[in-house]
Amino acid sequence: MKSASRFFTQALAVSLLVCAAAANAQRKLKDKDCLACHSNPSATTVIHGKTTSLYVNGNKFRHSIHGAMFSCVDCHKDVTSLPHETLPRRVSCAGCHANAQAAYALGVHARDGKYGRHAAATCQDCHGNAHQILAASDPQSAVFHDNIPATCGKCHGQKFLMESYGLSSEPVISYQQSVHGRAAANGFAKAAVCTDCHGGHKILPPSNPRSPISKVNVAATCGKCHTAIEKTFMQSSHGQALAHGNQLAPTCTDCHGIHSIASPTSPNAPTAGQNLSRDICARCHAGVRLSQEFGVPGNRVASYFQSYHGLAVEGGSLVAANCSSCHGVHNILPSSDPRSTIYPANLATTCGKCHKGATQKFALTAVHLQDGNNSRDAGSIAVRWVRIIYLFLIFGIIGGMFLHNAIIWRSKTVALHRMQNPRMTRMTANQRWQHLVLLVTFIVLVITGFALKFPNSWFAHTFGMGEKLRSFIHRTAGVVLIGMGIYHLCYLAALKEGRRLIRDLTPRPNDAFDAWKTMLYYLGLRSEKPHFGRFSYAEKTEYWALVWGTALMGLTGIMIWAKVWVGDLLARWWVDIATAIHFYEAILATLAIVVWHLYQVFFDPDIYPMNWTWLDGTMSVERYKNEHALDRETLAEASGPPDSAAAEQPGK
């Protein structure tokens, strides 16, 4: 009996426990049941080998938009008992937000997640922690209007993350500095934020024709705020072209920018009056594509900038007429449209905005004088004839003046040169030929080299050079210069006059003292002028600078020419270093020739108008004694028999 009673008691206890468990499973769990564990900040579990916190702030959950309406198990439907040994399934927001999920699934964020891009934005990335989500109308919400730029910027502001997707983080910075970004930061409720242009859940790339930022849809997107402007724009030439599928026609972002939109009153804005013609209109109307494909008259931009209006704007005028002053801003229409500001009947009103009292007759004057249409009106014909006549006058009269003065200058210069006798040899024929080759190749290299660096300069248009011809001439001149350098080395080593030349050009410590004494003398602080040997410190400096510059330019030029070989042998950045050295050494050499050498040859008052030595190799004995008194060897040779001295003179 006793054992039977014990068995009955145990069976009853088990039955009661089973019934209690069944009752517990059938009843709906309360939030307090879940928070009994999940309110512990130290509660964690291991998911996929990673320790994950299970902590839920019950207070914040109750104040969230979900906590006010739902309990834990409304979302975690698979949790029916406590404790639950299996990990609950991930909650899907689509259960309640089906429309938002469907839109999200079509966007770029869901697409990237589908293809395994781990950083693609999910619901929580934008809306915040699932247990603390606030209504979009709550100022503390991550998707509150004023907070949208910061929310999107959490990902799109990360440089390396964006680069991994082939995107840039620059738009975030640009937006912050834009007129929209500044207004949003100041709490302006109507300022455009990211979602106003890109959308909320269904974010599509600009290449998608359904995207609000696709070119054909941009005007409508901007029109959500700028309604009147959109209506005006869509009736304009540009808007109509877009409506007909012309992708070359400009839309709002082509003129105003995308993320970096600035107020037209900002002096740095491309739409500011002083910038608009060159930075906006010229981008399309200065090209030939509009003329070739759509019949828009060419050369309109060039003719505008040659007019008073264009010249004044380029000079900084803030009141001179720009393109929009005459053609309008968003309401640009062809001149054949009666609504156009440049329709013939409306021109007096348009011109009268600046020229008070302008009449219809005044307004008929052509503005674009060289529009490429060869206008046949009386004014255009008269202007063309004035141009032709004055071109003949300019070239004829000024050319005659130049020829007149050149003949007189040459005669007087030659006469003055012949008066300076007796003369002596300063440069041999061999040395003069080397100098001539150096002179020609240097000039050719300067012109063809800077033509590449400054393609819009006169260098680039010399002799009508294209890049192929320019490159060929530049490299040929470089090869000739290197060859002349090699010849010069052989000349110095093989010939007696060469060995003497290098000996006399070798720098000596006394040269530094000579330079100091020369400066003191010409500053009036020393009474005695210093004497030099065959070459002064200035001539030695110039020679060795030439040697150094030629060697450096030759070496770097070869490296640039053989860039593939050099890049494989060393590293590609060595070619970049060689290019930088080649450019800056070219500037240094050119300025040295202009400032230093041309002074010695042309502008020194002692030899003005020119030092003839580079042409005939001679120099007056008197001047040589004055400048090179310490070169007794050369002076002794110059004082030889009269016949030999005469033989050195040109024409003898």
pLDDT in tens, 100-159: 888 888 888 887 655 555 557 888 888 988 788 888 888 998 999 999 999 999 999 999
For residue range 79-106, what is the model confidence (pLDDT) as tens digits?
A: 888 777 777 888 888 888 889 888 888 8
pLDDT digits (tens, 9 = 90+) for 31-48: 777 887 887 787 777 766
Q: 225-229, 403-407, 415-419: which has the minimum mean pLDDT?
A: 415-419
> Smallest Cα–Cα separation from 526: which of 539, 509, 513?
513
CA distance to 321, 469, 551, 561, per residue, from 569 (Å): 58, 29, 21, 14
CA terminus-to-terminus distance, the chain: 158
Q: How confident is the model at residue 358 (pLDDT cuts 50, 70, 90)?
A: confident
Residue 163 — pLDDT band, cuts 50, 70, 90? confident
The amino acid present at 436, given as its one-letter code, is L
Query: Cα–chain-centroid distance for residue 591?
Result: 27
For residue 423, what pLDDT is reported? 86
Is residue 284 classed exposed, middle or buried when 0-12, 13-18 and 19+ CB atoms within 10 A define those classes? middle
Which CATH number describes the domain made up of 420-647?
A: 1.20.950.20
Per-residue pLDDT band at 370 (split at 50, 70, 90): low
Residues in the chain: 652
Q: What pLDDT sits at residue 162? A: 87
Alpha carbon of residue 358 to chain centroid:
42
- CB-CB contact of 537 with 511 (8 Å): yes
Q: Quote the pLDDT of residue 116.
A: 53
Average pLDDT value over all residues in the chain: 85
Q: Inform me whether the pLDDT recorded for 305 exceeds 90.
A: no
Q: Poorest-confidence range of 1-5, 197-201, 436-440?
A: 1-5
Query: Under a CB-based contact definition with an 8 Å cutoff, are residues 110 and 118 in contact?
Result: no
How confident is the model at residue 371, as a pLDDT? 47
Instruction: Look at 220-234, 404-418, 638-652 and tell me which has the smallest mean pLDDT.
Output: 638-652
Dist CA 260 CA 267 (whole Å): 14
CA separation (Å) from 120 to 49, 105, 164, 332? 22, 12, 11, 42
Residue 290 has pLDDT above 80, yes or no: no
How would residue 644 be classed by pLDDT, with cut points 50, 70 and 90? Answer: very low
- Global pTM value: 0.64
> How crowded is residue 589: how many other Cβ atoms within 10 Å of its Cβ?
20
CB atoms within 10 A of CB 11: 10
- Burial, 600: exposed, middle or buried (Cβ in 10 Å; 0-12, 13-18, 19+)? middle
Biggest CA–CA distance in the chain, Å, is 162
Instruction: List the domain boundaries for the chain.
Output: 32-88, 420-647
